[in-house]
Amino acid sequence: MAASTPPTNPKPEPAWPQRLRPGLIVLLLLAVVFLLLPHLYGNETLLFTLMTFIVLAQGLNLLYGFTGYLPFGYVGFFGCGAYTTSLLVLHSGLPVLLCVLGGGVASALMALILGPLLRLSGAYFSIASLAASQILYFVVSNTNLAGITGGPYGLKIEQVYSPGASYNTMLAVLLLATGLAAWFRSSRFGMGLRAMRQDPVSASMAGIDVVRARLLTWLISASVAGLAGGAYAWNLSVFYPEAVFTLQISVFAIVFALFGGVGTVIGPIIGAAVLYTLYAAIGISTPQYFQLIYGLLIVLLVLFLPGGILSLFTRRGVRVF
């Protein structure tokens, strides 16, 4: 009689700190790169703007990549953070860093007020979020409120102008946003979000509080945009409503995230780095050629790589983070 083969135990899943290790490596690389680049490449303004778009792409990735909610009006949180930070600088007397944190808190509060939008889905949610951001834009640019918000004339906080400090602050926000993406990618919370995106009913039956998880992700994503807006306003020091509420910011954030690959950590970073470098190279001097190339890239992406350029690796069995 043949001896029975003992059952083989499945390979245990790595502990959570081990699953987070790739994220720590990404954070370290980002910190080193953006601390060294200003000394190697003189255009610190371009580097600051690149970091801003990576943060926004990463913040949008937290929401869309893990829950499937795509906010066309994501720029509203960015503008809310910029205006709140500036108003706190002008009227509160608080240190600038606390004012930037205030911008993140204000954006989170705005997201909480707009929480009922999460009852919508698909294009309805996207369009409703866009309408909300436009309402906020019309409020802050209203001439009757020029004494508070500056109206169409914008705000000036030149007294705290500090390119170096605002650059380091944006880098800190970038590391925070990327760290959150790594946590979403590695933690039970993020796994629950991905399950919700695939089948909310089954996820709810499995014990996941779908409404609470979506709302928390919505607040975190909004806070990231608000912090970025605060650091951006600090760096500009003089800005108009159009500078922080333009729809182009939302479009860039969405396209950058989709180009690299949503639901990942490095996808939005790669997408923003590639496409914004292309924009800086030809988009400013020859916008007509950039729009042509940009449009072709988007069409090719949608047709052949809907999962972003990282899907080239996943199709070959390579695990991406």
Half-sphere exposure of 135 (CA within 13 A, CB side): 8
73, part of any domain: yes
pLDDT at 5 over 80: no
What's the length of the chain? 321
Number of domains in the chain: 1
Residue 300 belongs to some domain of the structure: no
Q: Is the pLDDT of residue 257 over 80?
A: yes
Domain that holds residue 30: 17-250
In a domain, 277, yes or no: no
Confidence band of 161 (pLDDT split at 50, 70, 90) = very high
Position 276 in a domain: no
In a domain, 96, yes or no: yes
**Is residue 297 one of the residues assigned to a domain?**
no
* Pairwise CA distance, residues 307 & 319, whole Å: 14
Contacts of 208 (CB under 8 A, 6+ apart): 192, 195, 196
**Is 288 inside a domain boundary?**
no
DSSP string, 191-254: HHHHHHHH-HHHHHHTT--HHHHHHHHHHHHHHHHHHHHHHHHHHHSEE-HHHHH-HHHHHHHH
Cα separation, 17 vs 7, whole angstroms: 29
Query: 152-166, 250-264, 305-319: which range is least confident on average?
Result: 305-319
299 found inside a domain: no
CA-closest candidate to residue 233, choices 141, 139, 145, 103:
103
How far apart are the C-alpha atoms of 303 and 286, rounded to whole Å? Answer: 26
